[in-house]
Chain A
Amino acid sequence: MMQEMISGMINTLMGTIMSNQIHVPVLEPLIKLLAQLPVGGFMVSLLFWKAFFAALICPGFATVGILLLFFPWIERKLCGRIQWRVGPNEIVWWLGGIIQLLADTIRFMFQEVIVHRDAHRPYYLQFPFLTFIPTLLPLLFIPAGSIVAIRTPYAIQIILALVCLFPLFILGLGWASNSRFAFIGTVREAFMYFAYEIAFIVAILAMIILYGTSDLVAINNTGTWGILLNPVAAFVFFVGAAMATSRLPFEIAEADQELAAGPHVEYSGIGFGLIYVLCYEKAYVLAGLMTVLFLGGGSGPALPGLGELSGLIWFLVKTLIVMTTLFVLRVIYPRYRLDQALSIGWSSLLSLALVAVVISLGVFMIGGGAI
């Protein structure tokens, strides 16, 4: 009786896993070879189970890890080039300092975590880790090609809800720090939150009207470049993303020159390390969302032999390009003042977002329904 139940469960599980596999023609012989081993077949099929692959490898956890390790380097090198500098160079100089962030991470690991006397100790220590919940969870809903961890018709809404949670955690950080600089930075973060949030959401609303669905996989499968249909929404989304990642030109909350580091001025050691990579994660999530909404997601000429991985590669390439563009803004523009950013957010950006909705409705009418 018991045995039957267990075997039935295993069979159901295996059926679920096997029915949702990633097909990669190039790797077929290798998979067949591994399947002959005692547990090899199960391991391989687990690895290539779409949900598992999406959550833990790509676009999920492993990709985020690798990106966090190397993207700051790419950004610093590129910005250095544009500004006639060299960027990080001395650690493994013949590779151009590529493991700079690894070295930094090791330093962060071994640095003392100082909790100053005025800090609200439990929250102060928890918030850097808690912040990772809203930044990592959206990755479950972003499809890379056809690979997605959770497919739901409410993907965009869930991602938006989580993305809008970011600033709350930053506010928490600043509040728990209980210091002057952190306080000013926190208030600025709150202001910025209101500046971009509404225009950002309205721009996404325009895209939902255009596509007639909020299922990101369905949007991805249409393969249309939303930026061609509604460039205004793309622009608003892009500026909103630049504001949300709080990097230059909207680095108002952190403002190195005036506030040292804004909300996270008091953090040291691994706490600071986690907050330092936070904006890169935000940028990854927002760039992924932008890729799917505006740049056709994983659509592109199929790469021979890679099967479903082809869409994934296109998705990653596009996401990286969007991320790079987002970060290169910091060498092109100086920082806006808080009042300027607020006026941009509340006047131009919001009105542009409304124009984007009108454009979407126009496309909807002319095209005779959603795409």
Chain B
Amino acid sequence: MKKVTVKDQSVTEKALRHARAVGVSMKESVYPLTATVYYPRERKKMPANLRGYLLFEPEKCISCWQCAFICPANAIRMKEAPNKRYYPTVDYGKCIFCHFCIDSCSGGALYSTKIHDVAYRDMDEMLTLTEEMIEQPEVLREDKKSVEYIIDKDDLHLKRRREQDTLFVEPTPPVEIPMVSQCVDRASCIGCRVCEEVCEHDAISSKQEGNILRMRIDTEKCTGCGLCVKECTMQILRLVRK
């Protein structure tokens, strides 16, 4: 067992240490390095894509359900819209703000805002419907200043600006990795033609040759959205890099 012992110090050394402690406290009482942000009256300036409240653009959504699949907290549910398509709804009672949904969204329909103080009156309100995610939400703002943390060599200080920070940022288009749908096991295809029906870009076509139905994926037209991959009944379609 290692025994912790106090280093022997001479009286002068001790006195010096006490004096230094008092000196530090005197210095801090005159010029403190307080890093407190007076939150409702001023807001800390956040980076643009720091995980916040989600917004949604239905035009870019292809209803691929990737967001709902990947959500680790099961916060996203797909709901049928009047145009027979499925759009995400977010339950903020469950959401852990991991933003996997944004990362997984192939069309870039989901994007983040800088709103990090989401508050609700009851549990039912927390379920945010698709139509509520399209419009920018109304935010009650008491802040007059924005505060920025600036880290010097070893210290940290605050820079206050007499301007409100904007809470909404333009969504950055997702970095597209060209993907294409590919059938990995042609022998297992049952010819249900679900993939052909679901494809939005007419990339999948079928041709009847006697008793045999030949499916074909046009790699030029395929955008790699993954809808067919999701819908395939035999699960023999895969997304691969172009």
Contact = CB atoms under 8 A, between A and B. Distances in A.
Interface of A: 78, 81-86, 89, 93, 328, 331-333
Interface of B: 21-22, 25, 28-29, 32-36, 38, 41
Contact of A81 (B22, B28, B38, B41): B28
B32 A82 contact: yes
B34 A78 contact: no
6 contacts: A81-B28, A81-B29, A83-B28, A84-B36, A86-B38, A328-B25
B59 to A, nearest CB: 45
Nearest to A324: B29
Contacts of B32: 81-82, 84
B144 to A, nearest CB: 13
Contacts of A86: 34, 36, 38
Contacts of A89: 38
B35 A84 contact: yes
Nearest to A94: B41
Nearest to A81: B32
A37 B35 CA distance: 58
A89 B34 CA distance: 14
B28 A84 contact: yes
Contacts of B33: 84
Contacts of B38: 86, 89, 93
B36 A78 contact: no
A369 to B, nearest CB: 33
B28 to A, nearest CB: 4
Kindly list the 5 A-B residue pairs having the minimum CB-CB distance in the complex, ordered from nearest: A82-B28, A81-B32, A86-B36, A82-B25, A332-B25
A84 B21 CA distance: 15
A324 B152 CA distance: 32
A328 B29 contact: yes
Nearest to B156: A84
A332 B21 contact: yes
Nearest to B30: A81
B21 A85 contact: no
Contacts of B41: 93
Given A84-B28, A85-B36, 6 more contacts: A78-B29, A81-B28, A81-B29, A81-B32, A84-B33, A86-B36
Contact of A332 (B22, B35, B36): B22
A6 B20 CA distance: 67
A89 to B, nearest CB: 8
A83 B33 CA distance: 9
A82 B24 CA distance: 8
Contact of B21 (A78, A81, A333): A333
Contacts of A332: 21-22, 25
B25 A85 contact: no
A85 B29 contact: no
B191 to A, nearest CB: 70
> In the complex, which of the residues A82, A89, A331, A333 has the most CB atoms of chain B within 10 Å of its own CB atom?
A82
Contact of B34 (A84, A328, A331): A84
Nearest to B31: A81
A135 B77 CA distance: 67
A78 B21 CA distance: 16
Nearest to B34: A84
B42 to A, nearest CB: 12
B165 to A, nearest CB: 21
A107 B176 CA distance: 61
A315 B105 CA distance: 72
A249 to B, nearest CB: 11
A89 B72 CA distance: 40
A83 B29 CA distance: 9
A2 B100 CA distance: 99
A85 B33 CA distance: 9
B157 to A, nearest CB: 11
A332 B28 CA distance: 11
A78 B36 CA distance: 15
Contacts of A78: 29
A332 B32 CA distance: 14
A228 to B, nearest CB: 19
B22 to A, nearest CB: 6
A96 B17 CA distance: 33
B25 A331 contact: yes
A85 B28 CA distance: 11
Nearest to A78: B29
A78 B29 CA distance: 6
B233 to A, nearest CB: 61
A294 B25 CA distance: 24
Contacts of A85: 34, 36
A18 to B, nearest CB: 46
Contacts of B36: 84-86
